[in-house]
């Protein structure tokens, strides 16, 4: 079994303008790993975009001068993204709103975490030198 | 990424090139609202040149749909690729919007 390796490890200013570039980098790594087409074009781009925008807009509260760190780690079994912001973190278990209900479907907000959970195999949140959101996609 | 709006008959057709995400959703929203203010009522957003859409982009579509309906107009969508179709199905937004396979079919449906 090969040792895990870091595909990239970057720190970006806390600004949504940086999201597209990071997502494109992640897509390139997915293609290099020969992951399924939809993983490269849908699951990773959308889930990572959601995690980054949450980190910038909610974790760091869109405050200038803050940063977000994003790491991609590849193992034989999985592709893992860790997104670290400077916020206090949040309890994932309390964020269970279903954006598909009749009450919620016409709301503008509230689809981010829902999409992350459906597009990757595991979403975790914990503290480790900042608030970390970890997205895990298992490699079949 | 860019948005362009062209009139085809009575319909204002919006092309979304690239991504529709948190960084550019306001630009799309403002362009459509400007047209709505000028009196346009029928809108079609064509996604044939679109990469991916995040939750903010989906939210803007929901918001625009509401605002256009409030003014007595209609917003329809066309040319979702397989990924975008999956996204709309996951969020059940495929039940909220009238979606056509092609621009032509969408234009005929108004």
The yes-or-no verdict on residue B1 having pLDDT over 70 is no
Kindly list the structural domains of chain A, giving each domain's residue range(s) and its CATH number in brackets, ordered by start. 5-138 (3.30.565.10)
Q: What is the pLDDT of residue B8?
A: 96
C-alpha A88: how far from chain center: 17
Contact between residue B110 and residue B79 where contact means Cβ atoms under 8 Å apart:
no
How many whole angstroms separate alpha carbon A42 and alpha carbon B84?
A: 8
Domain definitions of chain B by residue range: 2-79+103-109
Burial classification of residue B33, based on how many CB atoms lie within 10 Å of its CB (0-12 exposed, 13-18 middle, 19 or more buried)? middle
Which residues does A contribute to its contact with B (CB < 8 Å)?
16-17, 19-20, 38, 41-42, 45-46, 49-50, 53, 57, 99-100, 105-112, 114-115, 118-119
Mean pLDDT of chain B: 96
Sign, CA dihedral A102-A107-A110-A111, equals: positive
Q: Which residue has the higher pLDDT, B1 or B41?
A: B41
Q: Which residue has the higher pLDDT, A92 or A42?
A: A42
Q: What is the pLDDT of residue A51?
A: 97
CA dihedral B66, B70, B76, B82 (to 10 degrees): 10
How many whole angstroms separate alpha carbon A39 and alpha carbon A27?
A: 9
Mean pLDDT lowest among A6-10, A50-54, A111-115, A132-136: A6-10
- Mean pLDDT over B35-54 rounds to 97
CB–CB of B90 and A105 under 8 A? no
- Mean pLDDT over A22-40 rounds to 95
- Mean pLDDT over B29-50 rounds to 97
- Closest by Cα among B88, B109, B108, B100 to B48: B100
- Mean pLDDT over A24-36 rounds to 94
DSSP B57-95: HHHHHHHHHHHHHHTT-EEEEE---HHHHHHHHHTTGGG
- Mean pLDDT over B46-72 rounds to 97
- Mean pLDDT over A3-11 rounds to 90
The yes-or-no verdict on residue B95 having pLDDT over 90 is yes
CB–CB of B91 and A114 under 8 A? yes
What percentage of chain B reaches a pLDDT higher than 70?
A: 99
Contact between residue A46 and residue A81 where contact means Cβ atoms under 8 Å apart:
no
> Measured between CA atoms, how close is B20 to chain A, in angstroms?
10
Question: Looking at beta carbons, which residues of chain B come within 8 Å of A44?
Answer: none
**Predicted interface score ipTM higher than 0.90:** yes
The yes-or-no verdict on residue A53 having pLDDT over 90 is yes
pLDDT digits (tens, 9 = 90+) for A62-95: 888 999 999 999 999 999 999 999 998 888 888 8
- Mean pLDDT over B52-79 rounds to 98
> Measured between CA atoms, how close is A113 to chain B, in angstroms?
9
Question: Looking at beta carbons, which residues of chain A come within 8 Å of B87?
Answer: 42, 46, 115
How many whole angstroms separate alpha carbon A43 and alpha carbon A48?
A: 8
Q: What is the pLDDT of residue A89?
A: 85
Q: What is the pLDDT of residue B42?
A: 98
pTM: 0.95
CATH superfamily of B2-79+103-109: STAS domain (3.30.750.24)
Q: Which residue has the higher pLDDT, A92 or B3?
A: B3
Which residue in chain B is spatially nearest to A117 when comparing CA positions? B90
Q: What is the pLDDT of residue A92?
A: 85
Which residues does B contribute to its contact with A (CB < 8 Å)?
1, 19, 21-23, 51-56, 58-60, 62-63, 66, 82-83, 86-87, 90-93, 95-96
């Amino acid at each position: 079994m090969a040792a895990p390796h870091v595909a990239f490890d970057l720190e970006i200013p806390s600004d949504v303008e940086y999201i597209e570039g990071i997502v494109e980098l992640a897509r390139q790594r997915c293609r290099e790993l020969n992951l399924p087409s939809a993983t490269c074009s849908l699951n990773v781009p959308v889930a990572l975009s959601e995690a980054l925008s949450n980190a910038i807009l909610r974790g760091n509260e869109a405050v200038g001068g803050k940063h977000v760190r994003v790491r991609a780690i590849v193992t034989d079994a999985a592709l893992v993204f860790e997104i670290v912001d400077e916020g206090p973190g949040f309890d994932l278990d309390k964020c269970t709103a279903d954006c598909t209900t009749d009450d919620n479907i016409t709301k503008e907000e509230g689809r981010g975490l829902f999409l992350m959970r459906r597009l990757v195999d595991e979403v975790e949140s914990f503290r480790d030198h900042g608030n970390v959101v970890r997205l895990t996609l298992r490699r079949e | 990424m860019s948005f362009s709006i062209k009139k085809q008959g009575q319909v204002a057709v919006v092309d979304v090139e690239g991504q529709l995400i948190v960084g550019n959703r306001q630009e799309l929203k403002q362009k459509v609202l400007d047209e709505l203010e000028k009196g346009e009522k029928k809108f079609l957003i064509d996604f044939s040149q679109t990469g991916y859409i995040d939750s903010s982009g989906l939210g803007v579509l929901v918001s625009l749909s509401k605002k256009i309906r409030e003014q007595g107009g209609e917003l329809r969508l066309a040319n979702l690729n397989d990924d975008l179709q999956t996204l709309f199905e996951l969020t059940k937004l495929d039940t909220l919007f009238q979606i056509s396979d092609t621009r032509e079919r969408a234009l005929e449906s108004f």
